[in-house]
Amino acid sequence: MSDTIVQLPGDAVRVYDLLDERKRSRARLPTFEPTMELINDRFCRYLRSALLHHLRRPVEVSCVRIECVSHRALLEGFKLPSYMTLIGLRPLQGALMIELDARLVAAIVESRFGGDGRFPVTIANREFSPVEQKSMRRVTESILMQLATAWEPVGRFEPEILRQEVNPQFAGFAAVDDTIVVNEFEVRIERAAGQLVIAIPYSALEPLRDQLVVDAPEDSAADDLRWQETLRASVAQAGVTLTAELTRIEISVADLVSLQPGNVFEMDRNTTATVMANGMPLFRGAWGRRGRTIAVRVDEHLVIPPADR
């Protein structure tokens, strides 16, 4: 073995970290981040419309952030339990993941059964019930449909559910140090809110690099029209509960706690009633009988102050 030491010029030596895939991918993400943002905005609109139709409740969906993390860091960040679905998206290679956290699962299930998120439901440290899992399966299928539609300007994909998991430890879908593009959304249903994550391996997006790095595809007029029609139909079918307030009675706390079956309230009979939706007064009109039922005739539309809208 020779003891000769070969001196190389400074510019001939290049430091290269084979393991720092996350850092290199973070540098690459901005090249197509504008396109991802546009796709996510489109997805938010479509998902909001779909959930509004499914839950018949006010829904807001917003994209919180787009970032690259390692597969290991992604799974370590999920809490137990989480409703995780592994998805095949033909013709892309590999799988992606859709994750709904326990707060979002509780909000969706509660809203389906008449709740409004006023009283938080605790799911921590227990498995999802069969009812919760069935509800989430339907919601996940709807999410997939909206996701595929949002990506149509880039390419046509066929989503397929591979399996579901609740424990992040068993939800691996890539190599430990693979880079994952994480799209995080907040879904708000009336007073409750939760997290939705769509995680896509960076390697799966490589074949789409040319479509993603070009100018962000604009929504076509057909896309806008379809979204408007879907939203209009969903709003038209959404249910709302009206309450007619005939009168109000003031009573002391002492009298209230002493009430017994058979006690009678004395009240003035107002000639008009106020009709409200979710506590918001909308109409006023005369009330009386129509056939065998009590009815209210709409005589006046009430103006809602801008601050209360």
Domain chopping of the chain, boundaries: 21-237, 242-308
Give the number of other Cβ atoms within 10 Å of residue 233's Cβ. 13
Give the number of other Cβ atoms within 10 Å of residue 203's Cβ. 16
Q: How many Å apart are CA 94 and CA 86, to the nearest integer? A: 10
Q: Which CATH architecture has domain 242-308?
A: Roll (2.30)
Phi, psi of 87 (to 5 degrees): -125, 135
Residues 6+ apart with CB under 8 A from 43: 61, 63, 146, 147, 150, 185
* Predicted confidence pLDDT, tens digits, the chain (309 residues): 555 555 555 555 555 444 444 444 444 565 777 888 999 999 999 999 888 888 888 899 999 999 999 999 999 999 888 899 999 888 888 889 999 999 999 888 888 876 655 556 666 667 788 888 888 998 999 999 999 999 988 888 888 899 999 888 888 898 888 999 999 999 998 888 899 999 999 888 888 887 787 654 555 555 566 666 666 666 666 667 888 877 777 888 888 888 888 888 777 777 888 888 877 888 888 888 888 888 888 888 877 655 555
User: From 3.30.420.40, 3.40.190.10, 3.30.2010.10, 3.40.1550.10, which CATH number describes the 21-237 domain?
Assistant: 3.40.1550.10
CA 58 to chain centre: 12
